[in-house]
Structure 1
Amino acid sequence: MSVTDRVIRIIAEQAMIEPSDVALTDTMQDLGIDSMGLVECIFALEEEFDITVPFNANEPQASDFDISSVETVVAGVERLVARQKD
């Protein structure tokens, strides 16, 4: 399963929808995920990928992890996973 598929599965789980209903262009707000749900998503991503998401992920200009859309979350997870392998 790809990083994208795994991220989408986690986000869909939090939004209580089917993964097929999640588009890369969706924002967390589009999916009905509130700030508490977002925290749960981040914890689940950290556990799934054994990564640490920067605490300031809600401020993309202050962090290289952007939570504004599904696509940017996937990109952020991919970067963190790649760094782990270095």
Structure 2
Amino acid sequence: MTDTIKSRITAIIAEQAMLEPDQVTDDATPEDLGIDSLGLVESIFALEEEFDITIPFNANEPEKSEFDITNMGTIIAAVERLVAQKAA
């Protein structure tokens, strides 16, 4: 399940960044991928829709939110956590 979630997240972010999914690495930040603040908001909406989850409004402040958008690895981990919480 985790690989499927990761590949779906990677595909969404890659589409937003106009890149191929294999160009999106776990340590890449949104800035590294060329995603600006509006693109990040659109990506968050796409992730919420894809996984039927709610990402905290303060995700851009990791110290105030459990959802960390620092890089792809932290985004994937946060989405996986929300999906698991929803399933529980």
Tell me if TM exceeds 0.5: yes
Instruction: Report percent identity of matched pairs.
Output: 60
Report Cα offsets for 1:8-53 as digits up to 9, x if no partner. 0000000001001110100000000000000000000000000000
Which residue matches 2:32? 30
The match for 2:77 is 75
> What is the CA–CA distance in structure 2 between the aligned matches of 1:24 and 1:40, rounded to whole Å?
19
Indicate which of 40, 53, 56 corresponds to 2:55: 53
Q: 2:4 aligns with which of 2, 11, 17?
A: 2
TM-score for the superposition, normalised by structure 2: 0.95
Q: Which amino acid aligns with 1:68?
A: T
TM (norm. structure 1) is 0.98
> How far apart, CA to CA, are the structure 2 residues paired with 1:70 and 1:85?
22
Partner of 2:68: 66
Distance 2:74 2:8 in 1: 14
Q: How does 1:6-25 map to 2 (within 5 A)?
A: 6-25=8-27
Q: Which residue of 1 aligns with 2:87?
A: 85
Unpaired segments ≥5 residues, structure 2: none
CA distance in 1, matches of 2:18, 2:87: 32
Q: Give the superposition deviation at 1:85.
A: 1.0
SS of 2:49's partner is helix
User: How far, CA to CA, are the matches of 2:81 and 2:56 in structure 1?
Assistant: 12
